[in-house]
């Protein structure tokens, strides 16, 4: 099992006590008690098994429903790693190649500036996150057609810089629909969620009735009413960029399956952990087009994962933040030691959430000092 096999197995055993540290409870309880977030779900895994979990606060403030292991949260951009894996699965089946131009599948894209599926996955295709008409959008394909009509479509020439692009991932969702002849949600369910037993994971629809669904909130900063209901969002429009829902346990089970070799060939899994490079050979993270991304430091991007190589063994932590109206999440794994965790919150992203402190506590044993 990749998660805890080979020369790093002794390290994996040594990390188990740290992963069950009761300090995590203190961090989470403090965030809930100080009204930074209504509720939190946390699951920590080691070597493919859950070693610690903690659920605090309320999933719904109006019904006083507590967060439990079954609480289902929207997960925002954690969706992107599932889309990347789904495309790698299609590649392993010989149905596409990540090196092919996206225009081969989406013929409505401009032909004068070709970019590959891999460049879309790595955020180096240059697709802008500008505004476009979403009225009447019924699929990722129709949404992609609207994106293709944006002016300008590109922030920079494909392959020359890095900029995070949600619109680029909508194009990837459209490619999945084109290749499979299925709606993205159906393709993901049949090819990924069902085979791996991720029974609480799906592409969300605002109309879906979901048992144990957590409600999303926006902090107000007031004592009398610390939270408002989050602004309504037709979550389906987030598509391949961020429309999924899941539980903390399902998300860690996903990482165990992915890095344990249960879903993709080892070479495909490894490709997700390779930092993106531009067409001139430079690391994509050294040429960030968005000034706001400069705070990412040395963090690079692979396929659906942020990569932090500041670890004690030099092998990356693969992680991602997810934020969508009323919800914030972080999911990460250090594949070489088998340490993984998911932390889900039902409040908008803001500095008072426990995500950063939980990350520091859980990943502390593998991060370089």
Q: What is the pLDDT of residue 298?
A: 84
Q: What is the pLDDT of residue 16?
A: 46
Q: What is the pLDDT along the chain (369 residues), one digit of tens a residue?
A: 333 333 334 444 445 444 557 899 999 999 999 999 999 999 999 999 999 999 999 999 999 999 999 999 999 999 999 999 999 999 999 999 999 999 999 999 999 999 999 999 999 999 999 999 999 999 999 999 999 999 999 999 999 999 999 999 999 999 999 999 999 999 999 999 999 999 999 999 999 999 999 999 999 999 999 999 999 999 999 999 999 999 999 999 999 999 999 999 999 999 999 999 999 999 999 999 987 776 677 899 999 999 999 999 999 999 999 999 999 999 999 999 999 999 999 999 999 999 999 999 999 999 987
Please state whether the peptide bond connecting residue 152 to the residue before it is cis, i.e. omega within 30 degrees of 0. Answer: yes
d(CA 204, CA 210): 9
Instruction: Quote the pLDDT of residue 1.
Output: 30
Give every CB contact of residue 339 below 8 A, 6+ residues apart in sequence. Answer: 12, 15, 19, 44, 45, 46, 333, 362, 363, 365, 366
User: d(Cα 149, Cα 142) in Å, to the nearest integer?
Assistant: 11
288: three-class secondary structure by DSSP = strand
Task: Work out the end-to-end distance of the chain between its first and last CA atoms, rounded to an integer number of angstroms.
Answer: 28
CB 301 within 8 A of CB 119: no
d(CA 325, CA 77) in angstroms, rounded, equals 12
Q: Are 303 and 151 in contact (CB under 8 A)?
A: no
**Length, in residues, of the chain:** 369
231 DSSP assignment = P
- Within a 10 A sphere around the Cβ of 356, how many other Cβ atoms? 12
Q: What is the pLDDT of residue 6?
A: 32
The pLDDT of residue 243: 99
Rounded to 5°, the CA angle 249-255-257 comes to 100
Stated pTM of the model: 0.94
CATH of 6-79+183-363, one of 3.40.710.10, 3.40.50.10190, 3.40.30.10, 3.40.1350.10: 3.40.710.10
CA within 13 Å, CB half, 289: 20
Model pLDDT, residue 291: 77
> Which residues 6+ apart lie within 8 Å of 223 measured at CB?
none
Q: Choose among 142, 103, 143, 108: nearest CA to 125.
A: 103
Helix (H) or strand (E) holding 361: helix 355-363
Q: Which residues contact 222 (CB under 8 A, 6 or more apart)?
A: none
Residue 188 bridge partners (DSSP): none
CA distances from 13 to 5, 54, 85, 332, 336 (A): 11, 21, 28, 18, 12
Runs of H (alpha helix) within 103-247: 117-121, 140-148, 166-180, 184-188, 239-242
CA–CA distance, 78 with 244 (Å, rounded to integer): 8
For residue 315, count CB atoms less than 10 angstroms from its CB and return exposed for 0-12, middle for 13-18, buried for 19 or more: middle
Predicted confidence at residue 229, as pLDDT, reads 98
Distance CA(225)–CA(239), nearest Å, equals 32
């Amino acid at each position: 099992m990749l998660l805890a096999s080979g020369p790093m197995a002794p390290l994996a055993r040594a990390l188990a006590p740290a992963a069950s540290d009761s300090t995590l409870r203190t961090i989470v309880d403090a965030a809930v008690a100080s009204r930074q977030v209504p509720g939190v779900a946390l699951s920590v895994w080691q070597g493919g098994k859950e070693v610690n979990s903690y659920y605090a606060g309320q999933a719904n403030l109006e019904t006083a429903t507590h967060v439990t292991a079954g609480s289902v949260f929207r997960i925002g951009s954690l969706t992107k790693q599932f889309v990347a894996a789904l495309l790698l699965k299609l590649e392993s089946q010989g149905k596409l190649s990540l090196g092919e131009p996206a225009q081969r599948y989406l013929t409505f894209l401009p032909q004068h500036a070709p970019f590959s599926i891999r460049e879309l996955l790595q955020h180096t295709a240059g697709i802008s996150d500008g505004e476009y008409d979403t009225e009447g959008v019924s699929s990722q394909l129709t949404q992609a057609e609207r994106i293709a009509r944006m002016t300008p479509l590109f922030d920079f020439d494909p392959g020359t810089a890095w900029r995070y692009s949600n619109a680029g991932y909508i194009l990837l969702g459209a490619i999945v629909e084109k290749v499979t002849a299925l709606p993205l949600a159906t393709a993901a369910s049949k090819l990924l969620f069902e085979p791996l037993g991720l029974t609480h994971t799906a592409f969300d629809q605002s109309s879906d009735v979901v048992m144990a669904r957590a409600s999303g909130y926006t902090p107000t900063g007031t004592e009398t009413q610390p939270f408002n209901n989050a602004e309504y969002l037709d979550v389906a429009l987030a598509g391949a960029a961020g429309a999924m829902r899941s539980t903390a346990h399902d998300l860690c089970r996903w990482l165990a399956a992915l890095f344990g070799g249960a879903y993709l060939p080892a070479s495909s899994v490894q490709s997700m952990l390779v930092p993106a490079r531009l067409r001139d050979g430079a690391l994509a993270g050294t040429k960030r087009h968005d000034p706001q991304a400069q705070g990412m430091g040395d963090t690079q991007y692979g396929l659906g994962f942020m990569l932090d190589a500041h670890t004690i063994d030099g092998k990356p932590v693969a992680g991602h933040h997810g934020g969508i109206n009323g919800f914030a999440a972080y999911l990460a794994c250090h594949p070489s030691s088998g340490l993984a965790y998911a932390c889900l919150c039902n409040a908008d992203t803001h500095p008072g959430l426990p995500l950063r402190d939980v990350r520091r506590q859980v990943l502390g044993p593998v991060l370089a000092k």
